[in-house]
Amino acid sequence: MLVRRRSLGPGPGGAPLAAQLAAALFYATDRGWPVLPGAYLDHGRCSCRSPRCPEPGAHPGDEVAHTAASRSADVLRAWWSRRPYTVLLATGFEFDVLDAPAPAGYAALRELAHVGFASGPVVHLPSDRLLFLVRPGARDVYWYTIDHNDAAHLDVRHHGLGHVVPAPAGPRPGGPEPRWAVAPDPSDRRLPEAVDLLGTLVRSCQHAAARATHVREEVSG
């Protein structure tokens, strides 16, 4: 009988563990961002094996508790020596995240650049959303802005304590990878306040929604 052993090596397709470990170490030790290993893609399927996985390769891995996010280089080396985990960042500690559809997010970035405002690091997810890293504690500002602008329908989300987000970590085997739309500045670790960014982001989403409505009316009219 042929027994297939589960590989403990670099993983399916020779996954670039070194790139993922290097990215995890940079986030944890250079930035101080708590990191945890996420499920990974194996021939296009999520390692959690659920046929209905809502976020393939973008949720915490089965072997590591959600609460175990770490900044320890030794812990990270041990994790990434086992599997080609994706790199996840725990939000709510060193930063919160504002999460918006990419077209509206890029429009907001252009508007912010136009007035000379530094956005801080921004991740572009394969699901075509942008993640804006902001200072932690953005929850109240988020809800105030969403309520104040009647913007609950605009699909701007907030990630704080208890959430994780995927982080860029080089090419992933079997799937598109998150990448930096705005990379972390090597010499500047400051993050913007949510209050300075959220209004612009909500306005961009409102404009995008108005344009979509206009197009729908033209098509149906």
Kindly determine how many residues on this chain lie close enough to bind Zn ion according to the rule CB under 5 A.
Answer: 4
The minimum distance between CB 58 and Zn ion, in angstroms, equals: 8
The Cα 189–Cα 38 span in angstroms is 25
Binding residues among 11-40 for Zn ion as defined by CB under 5 A = 39
Cα torsion 108, 112, 117, 121: sign? positive
- Give the burial string for 20-44 (b: 16+ CB within 10 Å, else e): bbebbbbbbeebebbbbbbbbbbee
User: Would you say 50 or 81 has its CB closer to Zn ion?
Assistant: 50
- Give the burial string for 95-125 (b: 16+ CB within 10 Å, else e): bbbbbbbebbbbbbbeebeeeeeebbbbbbb
The minimum distance between CB 59 and Zn ion, in angstroms, equals: 6
The minimum distance between CB 62 and Zn ion, in angstroms, equals: 9
CB 123 within 8 A of CB 180: yes
Site string for Zn ion, 147-186 (x = CB under 5 A): ----------------------------------------
Rg (the chain; Cα; Å): 19
Which has the closest alpha carbon to 37: 7, 52, 57?
57
User: Would you say 6 or 114 has its CB closer to Zn ion?
Assistant: 6
The minimum distance between CB 57 and Zn ion, in angstroms, equals: 7
Binding residues among 36-75 for Zn ion as defined by CB under 5 A = 39, 46, 48, 53
The minimum distance between CB 54 and Zn ion, in angstroms, equals: 8
User: Would you say 42 or 99 has its CB closer to Zn ion?
Assistant: 42
The minimum distance between CB 189 and Zn ion, in angstroms, equals: 32
User: Would you say 71 or 129 has its CB closer to Zn ion?
Assistant: 129
User: Would you say 48 or 209 has its CB closer to Zn ion?
Assistant: 48
| Sheet of strand 164-166, all strands in order from the earlier edge strand to the far edge | 35-38, 86-90, 164-166
- How long is the chain? 221
CB 66 within 8 A of CB 35: no
The Cα 38–Cα 56 span in angstroms is 10
User: Would you say 178 or 192 has its CB closer to Zn ion?
Assistant: 178
Binding site for Zn ion (CB under 5 A): 39, 46, 48, 53
